[in-house]
Structure 1
């Protein structure tokens, strides 16, 4: 099955100059733990997670109202294409130990696919299980 058939297409993103509070409000409003960071024309520049906000800003005493998302976001993004398969996406998730994968087409964010999206489709239980087992492995540091 192609990622295009599994991905969430109604993705809320914010600009790198948005405050961390604004990104956190988006997360709260739509009940997610990640917000893609996009520049003009929906060009993916990175992502910020609830964990990024806590570890990279709050724990350091930074003000979430004045600190910009661009200061705390992850910019080294792993993404996939809508034409890739669920197996390819789960392999990317496992290889990079991530649970959510932005979907990019012609440089533009067109969706996001989460480990849960793979798990809800019965034929992909093995792919989701494999990805989760690899994601859950402790990294070698």
Structure 2
């Protein structure tokens, strides 16, 4: 069985929990991604910030992106996958939570990101198609 560690993209970059939303938006642009993990000063994953979060929860809500912190958007326990969990578990987690990216955790350390594209490359075509369908349903 293939593990999340084997299929993930290593070297995920975090935005700090005390960094501003403007800094988070710049990081998204630099990395050309739609989401980035939020890491605390204790190096633990606090959540994720997405381009949609920035648009809806900050800009549309009238908040100041220069004073609103990334950490203020980190609510609840982030959806993650263990580095040694199987891709089948990752598939179930993505489908259940309807997310396209999972932070990969080894202990409490962020070690990478597992995306829908990573799974599509690693899984048989039928399983990858099922994932895309499950995530894309409204």
Cross-structure match for 2:80: 79
Aligned partners of 2:100 and 2:116 also within 8 Å: yes
Alpha-carbon RMSD across the aligned residues, in angstroms, is: 1.4
For residue 18 of structure 2, what is the aligned residue in structure 1?
17
**SS of residue matched to 1:127:** helix
TM-score by length of structure 2 reads 0.92
Q: Distance in 1 between matches of 2:45 and 2:82?
A: 13
Q: Between Structure 1 and Structure 2, which shows a larger proportion of strand residues?
A: 2
Question: Do the aligned partners of residues 31 and 74 (structure 1) sit closer, same or farther apart at CA in structure 2, a change above 3 Å counting?
Answer: farther
Aligned residues: 137
Tell me how far apart the structure 2 counterparts of residues 73 and 124 of structure 1 sit (CA, whole Å): 34
In structure 2, the gaps of 5 or more residues are none
2:132 aligns with: 132
Task: Please identify, of 126-135 and 45-54, the stretch whose mean Cα deviation from structure 2 is larger.
Answer: 126-135
- CA distance in structure 1 between the partners assigned to 2:32 and 2:55 by the alignment: 17
Does the aligned pair in 2 maintain the 1:118–1:124 contact within 8 Å?
no
Q: TM-score, normalised by structure 1?
A: 0.90
Cα distance between partner residues in 1 of 2:34 and 2:124: 23
